[in-house]
Amino acid sequence: MAKLRIGVLASGRGTNLQAIIDAVETGEVEAEIAVVVSNRPRALALQRAMCHNIPSVVIRQPDYPGRVEHQVAIAGLLREKGVGLVVLAGFDRILVPEFVRQFPFRVINIHPSLLPAFAGGLHAQAEALSYGVKVTGCTVHFSTEEVDAGPIILQAAVPVLDDDTVESLSARILEQEHKLLPLAIQLIAEGAVEVAGRRTIVTRSQRGD
Catalytic positions: 111
28 backbone dihedrals φ, ψ, rounded to 5°: -65, -35
Query: CB-based burial of residue 104 (10 Å sphere; 0-12 exposed, 13-18 middle, 19+ buried)?
Result: exposed
Pairing status of strand 85-88 against strand 107-111: parallel
Number of Cβ within a 10 Å radius of residue 11 = 18
Phi, psi of 191 (to 5 degrees): 75, 25
- The SS3 call for residue 158 is strand
CA distance 34 to 149: 27
Give CA angle at 43 (152, 117), nearest 5°: 25
Do the Cβ atoms of 184 and 87 come closer than 8 Å?
no
Rounded Cα–Cα distance for residues 114 and 118 (Å): 8
Total length of the chain:
209
